[in-house]
Amino acid sequence: MVLDVRTIPYGVSNFYDIRNENQLYVDKTRFIRLLEDHRNVFLIRPRRFGKSAWITMMMSYYDLKLADRFDWYFGDLDIGKDPTPHHNRYVTIPFDFSVVNDDIDTLEANFKEYGDTVLRDVFQRYPHLFPHEAAQTILGRSHIVGKLNELFAFSKRESIPLYILIDEYDNFANTVFSHHGQEAYHRFTHGDGFYRNFFAALKGGTGSGEGGVKRLFITGVSPITMDDVTSGFNVGTNISLLPEFNELLGFTEAEVRSILQEYQGAGVFTQDVDTALGIMKDWYNGYRFSLESAAELFNTDMVLYYLKHSIGNKSGPIELIDSNIRIDYGKLRHLMWVNRQLNGNFNRLKTVIEEGVITSQLVSTFPLKQITETQNFVSLLYYFGLLSISDTRLGKAVLRIPNQTVSELIVGYLRSIYQDAELFRVDIDHFSNLIDEMALTADWQPVFQFLADAIKQQTSIRDFIDGEKMIQGFLLAYLNVTNVFLCRSEREFAKGFADLYLEPFVERFPELKYGFLIELKYLKRRKVLKASVLQHAVEEASTQLKAYLQDEHLKSKPSVHHIGLVIVFHGWEMVAYEEVKSE
């Protein structure tokens, strides 16, 4: 590799390392000017969007100890050319709660120990501001809240301005809730709980004068914990939905194109830029974080993952979904599965899969006890990055699954729920092999015969096979087990909408030759199914498919032969599946 080519900072969340080691850095520092209009800030973004790198960048910018390194870190960046008066004037105190051991039996002790470590580091970095005697007095207090109160009092007396930055504030709280339940979570976030008291101390440290807590910046992936520990984050501004901060984290299409062109120009990225960008748009794009912004964003980690596995290779990664991007299924399971019973939240997730869209008011903050309310659960799916804003309707958000990566994750969760609830279990490895064979040879009958037989044998699933949309979501969940097809629902063809389109992923697997359009028909369960009724359903679906197969979009893939499939369900029973060829 050419020595002056910037390396890919995949997995690197430290701004210092990125800058010191000549790694790729997409300049977002212009947002610092906007942030300074808000003294205390709370920002929610999905996992792997660059929150930690942003936190360490802010530390570099505001830390008074790094003033002599300002030009090195920021000289060629937007903020370095026109810095604000606040740069390098604070004692920075960073907390990263992802490192706190979340063992429920020792959680409070672990939190206290971590807090002591952070404070000792502060005193070692600024010995001229915190003399030994003062540091010992602060550390001598028995609880972290007492230490913070002592620190803030000393800083106010000595006019020492503090900037507190908290990364992943809700990390261990979410883990405790998902693995130990609401009661365990409630003990440290309510009443006299140690975490609630921690945030009360932060609020108490703010105030007038030159010293004390002058600024706060807090990041996480959901607003729940902040509402519980601060009664709705009444210490500052939640900027998560403000349009001016939509592009603070993540990459725009123009930024991704520029990155690809940079590495192509250096001779280390040999793929066609437009082809690679098309794949990345399909799998990594589609995030919007404000109702008032039209700009869509790529997930930072996903883009870097693709680049990391593309440099020096003629194609992108074999597995397009980075395992690090996956949201722990357990963090969703407990919201839909209570006392071994599926609740209304399961139906809402199922609706998202079946309909592809859901309209809801986005809630900026809500306590845990209200998580079962419809708009709160839907909002949580949005904050986790499983849904994104695609439009607005009468002030509400029209939310869709943002990209192919998230689509596969969500249908994977649905398969996990079916299995956990003992509704439907199949040999996924065997079934995925059948789908691979279908993609290579057009041998599609074994795929649907396998599902038909499995449904007959497992009676629990039958209550859920109720209506065409339910069947559509069910098939989408299981036809997605392999990545040879991009499974699309309600894709427009010839002024109509195919129920399912199994689009062969030829950009990744050029040997694929077959794609499938599926039209579903659902007949209510009756004791006797009349042959004429079944025949009418098949003919109606066949007519629709013949029209779809003439669509110009399909002709854009001349190497692919598209086949129409009619699938008819009589209640839970698959009573017909037939092939329709284009005329």
CA distance 545 to 564: 6
Residue 330 has pLDDT above 70, yes or no: no
Instruction: Please answer whether residues 169 and 220 qualify as being in contact, where contact means their C-beta atoms are separated by less than 8 angstroms.
Output: yes
Q: Say what the pLDDT of residue 2 is.
A: 42
Residue 466 has pLDDT above 80, yes or no: no
Least Cα distance to 513 among 485, 490, 477, 492 occurs for: 485
pLDDT (mean) for 134-143:
95
Residue 3 has pLDDT above 60, yes or no: no
Residue 285: pLDDT band (50, 70, 90) is: very high
Say whether 523 sits in a helix, a strand or coil: strand
pLDDT (mean) for 330-352:
71
Q: What is the DSSP string of 114-132?
A: HHHHHHHHHHHH-TTTS-H
Provide the token pair at 568: 């008819």
CA distance 481 to 476: 9
Give how far Cα 529 sits from Cα of 524, 571, 573, Å.
9, 10, 11
Q: Say what the pLDDT of residue 331 is.
A: 67
Provide the token pair at 241: 């939905």
Least Cα distance to 542 among 570, 514, 521, 513 occurs for: 521
User: Tokens 């869709």 — which residue?
Assistant: 400
Name the strand (E) or helix (H) holding 107: helix 107-125
Task: Give strand ranges (E) for 401-469.
Answer: none
More confident residue, 61 or 191: 61
Say whether 210 sits in a helix, a strand or coil: coil
- The identity of residue 251, as a single letter, is F
Question: What domains can be seen in the chain, in order of their start residue?
Answer: 27-245 (3.40.50), 253-317 (no CATH), 326-421 (1.10.10), 423-583 (no CATH)
393 Cβ contact list (under 8 Å, min separation 6): 359
539: how many CB neighbours lie within 10 A of its CB?
11
Instruction: Please answer whether residues 396 and 360 qualify as being in contact, where contact means their C-beta atoms are separated by less than 8 angstroms.
Output: yes
Residue 1: pLDDT band (50, 70, 90) is: very low
Lowest-confidence pick of 22-36, 180-194, 339-353, 553-567: 339-353
Strand-pairing partners, residue 570, are 523, 573
Q: Say what the pLDDT of residue 58 is.
A: 97
Mean residue pLDDT across the chain: 90
494-552 pLDDT tens trace:
889 999 999 999 888 889 999 999 999 999 887 788 999 999 999 999 999 999 999 98
Instruction: Please answer whether residues 271 and 307 qualify as being in contact, where contact means their C-beta atoms are separated by less than 8 angstroms.
Output: no
Residue percentage of the chain with pLDDT more than 90: 63
560-578 pLDDT tens trace:
999 999 999 999 899 999 9
